[in-house]
Structure 1
Amino acid sequence: MGFWTLFSVATMPVLQVLIISGLGAFLASGYCNLLVADARKHMNKIVFIVFTPALMFASLAKSVTLEDIISWWFMPINIGLTFLFGGILGWIVVKILKPAPYLEGLVIATCSAGNLGNLMLIVVPAICKENGSPFGDSSICSVNAYSYASFSMALGGFYIWTYTYHLIRSAGEVYDEIRSIEDSRKIPNKESDASGETRLLVGEDEEPPSPMPRILSSMKLMGEDEEPRSPLPRILSSMKSIDESTENQPILQILSSHRLMSNKKVQFWGRVQVFLHQIIEELLAPPTVSAILGFIFGATPWLKSLLIGTNAPLRVIQDSIKLLGDGTIPCITLILGGNLTKGLRSGKLRPLIIILVIIVRYAILPIIGVGIVRGASKLGFLSKDPLYQYVLMVQYTLPPAMNIGTMSQLFDVGQEECSVLYLWTYLIAALAVTSWSTFFLWLLS
């Protein structure tokens, strides 16, 4: 397969994202004014509760079996490593450039979470259909490609809706705290302004009241012949209290230490409870629940036979779920395009942050991925199928996950900055994904 053929294959999904984003930007602009902020917010909730869970369940229940889960055991580890190394590199970027506190989670998320969904479903099967593909017969390659891509999308969704969801949610909490502090600071300013207005009501020639009468009255209360009270009794009483306290000092130290230990235990268990509550709440997010159900239905033959196949009694349910899932990618992309119109004007993201995110995603992570996959292959952890190894390598070279935009819209944090990051990372993705795909094919051929 030639470079230009591969370039056209790898560019198509990226161009689709850019075209639909442009449409979303036009619908949100003043010319149409259809995809306004409230409309994007309501559409995003539908994507989160309905479309994304439907897409994950439909793809998993149909494409993944128990044998696949067992034989592809390295793929969840590989995706976890993409999140681990990407998160570490994103954390380094945050520590070096120090963006606004509520943008730190967004930067780490875009460095760690790749688009393991629609790009994999388009790019990998398309390579199988091209002449000169190194992956053998096109029909067999296409079936395996869809299975690998669907499994990758499901696993990626599980990581995204737990780890990345936690990052964006924490960023949203930080942003809410910052806004509440700013609002509380505005209230005294208003009061001072009001007091300033009342001061203006006083005549310009009017002198301020003198404090001398108050001073004289206080001196009269003290008495002219009264001697000042001696501080000696207070000093003696304080010395007695010190002597008494020194006798009981060991007991007081023991009691205070016990109180500190009990307070620390209470604080520790309180933090554990909050942490467990957050984990359970994130695991109960609709996309995560649908991914778990998809794994269960895909791995259980009798459950799968109820939904999948021409003779399945409940196949209409699977068809309906798939139909809903097909609307996920267009809706997410339209929302991102709508947010882009505001992000280009009011985004607070420095250009250096965008450059470093691009370097992390398209330079450092792919090199790490090649080393990990080649090392695992030499150790005998991977199957001999070159397409499987190709998919594992591509997982390190993808642009940021589209669901990050859904989360930023959901928690109302960094929406414009997220759209700007998507614009530049997806513009560079056409060249980056193509170049690395060509290198991977040469490496595996």
Structure 2
Amino acid sequence: MGFWTLFEAASMPVLQVLIISILGAFLASGYCNLLTSDARKHMNKIVFIVFTPSLMFASLAKSVTLQDIISWWFMPINIGLTVFIGAALAWIAVKILRPEPHLEGLVIASCSAGNFGNLLLIVIPSVCNEGGTPFGDNTTCSANALSYASFSMALGGFYIWTYSYHLVKSSGILYHQMLLIEGKSPKAPNNDLDGGEETNLLKPDAEASQDHTTIVLTSSMKDLEDASINKAIVHRLSSGRLSTHKEPFLEKLKGILHMILEELMAPPTVAAILGFIFGAVTWLKSLIIGASAPLRVLQDSIALLGDGTIPCITLILGGNLTQGLRSGRLKTSMIIAIIIIRYVILPLIGIGVVRVAGELGLLSTDPLYQYVLMIQFTVPPAMNIGTMTQLFDVGQEECSVIFLWTYIVAALALTIWSTVFMWILT
């Protein structure tokens, strides 16, 4: 398989993202003014509550079985290593380069949460269609590729909608606290989502933290008389050391458990759990999957809704990009650090992890499976991070700029590393 053939296979999905992003930027520009800020927020809510859960459920219920879950047990560990090693490297970069406090969570999420599903669903089957690969015949390779990519997307979704979701949510709360301290009136993001009992997306994690925040902010606003005091309090807010009393351990544990439960109840996570259940339980799967399934119309309808996820997310990112290029506050050095972490350090670590696991007999002998594990260390940031920044009204412009550069570099990086991975596995 030649370099340019592989380059074409790896770059096509990335170019699709860039082309749709350019369309989104045009629709949001003054020439069209169709994809306005309010329109993007409303579209984003639909993506979060309807489209993304539909995509995850439809892919899992159809492609993953109980036997797959058992035999591919190392993949969740591999993705976990990708997320936490990326987060550790990003934390080091944040401490050295010091971006604004409310952007730290975005930077860490961009380095830790990769595009574990959508991109792989396109790239891996495309590689199977080319000749000269070490992955066997085309039919078997394509079938396995779809299953691996779907399982990867589901597992990645758990990490993204728990860990990364918490990072961006915390950054959003911090950002609005900073605006209040500085005497600015923050936007009220997604107010209609706060009205119901089941969609309290932007409320603090516990009543104690809400009361504590109110006390700190009201007292601080009376005492702040110069910018230096403002900066000191913002720094302490970002490090979590601003407190008026020591919280009991049980209360703190209760708050943490409540936070974890709340984030596990995010619609995409719930959909992934249901998809695993329907995929693993044969009689449930037979109800909705297959030509003779009595409820197959439900699966077809859910899959149709899921098809809207990627175009909508990409259009929103393109719309945010127009503002990000003008007013984004992320340093160039921080963007370079993200690119180095994602496309240089993590792939090298990935090769070591997969090779060691293979030598210890922890992996399937299928070279395509090992290739997917390596690719998981090489993908660009997860597109759902853009959904989260829009939900919590923090860093949307900076997120779009990060995505622009990381996806441009991804076209070349994925190609080079794919060639290296195949050479290793041949």
TM-score, L = length of structure 1: 0.82
**Matches of 1:96 and 1:174 in 2, distance apart?**
20
Secondary structure of residue in 2 paired with 1:380: coil
State the partner residue of 2:389: 408
Residue pairs, 1:372-387, within 5 angstroms:
372-387=353-368
Larger radius of gyration: 1
Q: Per-residue CA shift, 1:269-301, capped at 9, x if unaligned? A: 221121111111100000000000000000000
Write the distance in 2 (CA, Å) between the matches of 1:284 and 1:384: 36
Distance, in Å, in 2 between the alignment partners of 1:92 and 1:188 is: 36
Q: Distance in 1 between matches of 2:221 and 2:394?
A: 24
Aligned residue identity for 1:85? I
Q: For residue 398 of structure 1, what is the aligned residue in structure 2? A: 379
Counterpart of 1:251? Answer: none
Deviations 1:37-88 (A, max 9, x none): 0000000000000000000000000000000000000000000000010000
The separation in 1 between residues aligned to 2:221 and 2:157, in whole angstroms, is 43
- In structure 1, which of residues 300, 317, 323 is the aligned counterpart of residue 304 of structure 2? 323
Q: 1:348 aligns with which of 317, 329, 332?
A: 329
**Which among 282, 286, 290 is matched to residue 301 of structure 1?**
282
Alpha-carbon shift at residue 133 of structure 1 (Å): 2.1
Residue in 2 aligned with 1:88? 88
1:419 is aligned to 2:400 = yes
Corresponding letter in the other structure for 2:343:
Y
Name 1:178's counterpart in structure 2. 178
1:369 to 350, 354, 359: 350
- Indicate yes or no: 2:411 matched with 1:430: yes
The one-letter code sitting in structure 1 at the alignment partner of 2:28 is A
Offset from partner CA, 1:120-140 (integer Å, 9 cap, x none): 000000111112222111001
Q: CA deviation at 1:267?
A: 2.3
Indicate which of 394, 399, 423 corresponds to 1:442: 423
Structure 2 distance, partners of 1:414, 1:71, is 39
- Supply the AA of the counterpart residue of 2:290: G
Aligned to 2:257: 276
Structure 1 CA distance, aligned partners of 2:222 and 2:88?
A: 41
Matched, 1:143 2:140: no
Determine the structure 1 residue equivalent to 2:117.
117
2:272 pairs, out of 291, 306, 311, with 291
**1:187 CA drift (Å):** 8.3
| CA distance in 2: counterparts of 1:74 and 1:156, whole angstroms | 13
1:105 alignment partner in structure 2:
105
CA distance in 1, matches of 2:249, 2:179: 28
Residue 121 of structure 2 aligns with an amino acid whose one-letter code is L
CA distance in 1, matches of 2:364, 2:264: 31
Match of residue 55 from structure 1: 55
Q: Helix, strand or coil for the counterpart of 2:182?
A: helix
Spell out, residue by residue over 1:15-47, the C-alpha distance to the aligned partner (whole angstroms, 9 max, x if none): 000000000000000000000000000000000
More helix by share: 1
Contact persistence 2:181–2:221 (CA under 8 A): no
Q: 1:109 to 1:187 in 2, by over 3 A?
A: closer
266-275 vs 58-67, which deviates more? 266-275
Corresponding residue for residue 9 of structure 1: 9
The answer to whether the Cα contact below 8 Å between 2:86 and 2:112 also exists between their aligned partners in 1 is yes
Unaligned runs of 5+ in 2: 185-216, 226-244
**2:103–2:395: 8 Å Cα contact kept in structure 1?**
yes
Partner of 1:166: 166
> Using the alignment, how far apart are the partners of 1:103 and 1:268 within structure 2?
29
Give the deviation of 1:188 after TM superposition.
Answer: 7.9
- Amino acid paired to 1:271: K
Matched with 1:199 is none
Q: For residue 299 of structure 1, what is the amino acid of its counterpart?
A: A
71-80 or 126-135, which deviates more? 126-135
d(CA) in 1 for partners of 2:120 and 2:334?
Answer: 26
| Residue type at the aligned position of 1:12 | M
Identity, in percent, stands at 72
Distance 2:424 2:14 in 1: 24
One-letter code of the match for 2:92? I
* Residues 1:355 and 1:280: Cα distance change in structure 2 (over 3 Å): same
Shift of 1:268: 1.8
For 2:254 and 2:155, the matched residues in 1 are separated by: 27
Q: Are the equivalent residues in 1 in contact too, given 2:63–2:147 (CA < 8 A)?
A: yes
Say if 2:131 is the partner of 1:131.
yes
Is residue 10–residue 411 contact of structure 2 (8 Å, CA) maintained in 1?
A: yes
Task: Report the CA distance shift for 1:188/1:167 in structure 2 as closer, same or farther (over 3 A).
Answer: closer
Matched residue type, 2:405? W
Q: What is the match of residue 77 of structure 2?
A: 77
Say if 1:161 and 1:187 are closer, same or farther in 2 by CA, change over 3 A: closer
Would you say the 8 A contact 2:61–2:285 is kept in 1? yes
Aligned residues: 372
Describe the superposition over 1:366-419 as per-residue Cα deviations: whole angstroms up to 9, x where unpaired.
000000000000000001100000000000000000000000000000000000
Aligned counterpart in structure 2 of residue 339 of structure 1, from 320, 324, 332:
320
Deviations 1:236-285 (A, max 9, x none): xxxxxxxxxxxxxxxxxxxxxxxxxxx85x62222112111111110000
* Cα separation, 2, equivalents of 1:131 and 1:435: 17
1: distance between equivalents of 2:133 and 2:322? 40
Does 1:313 pair with 2:294?
yes
Q: Which residue type is aligned with residue 383 of structure 1?
A: S
Report the equivalent of 1:40.
40
Shift of 1:362: 0.1
- Opposite residue 83 of structure 2, the aligned amino acid is F
Specify the SS of the correspondent of 2:248. Answer: helix
Instruction: Give distance in 2, aligned partners of 1:164 and 1:36.
Output: 26
Q: Does the residue aligned with 1:183 lie in a helix, a strand or coil?
A: coil
| 1:194-209 matches, cutoff 5 A | none
Matches within 5 A, 1:169-248: 169-183=169-183
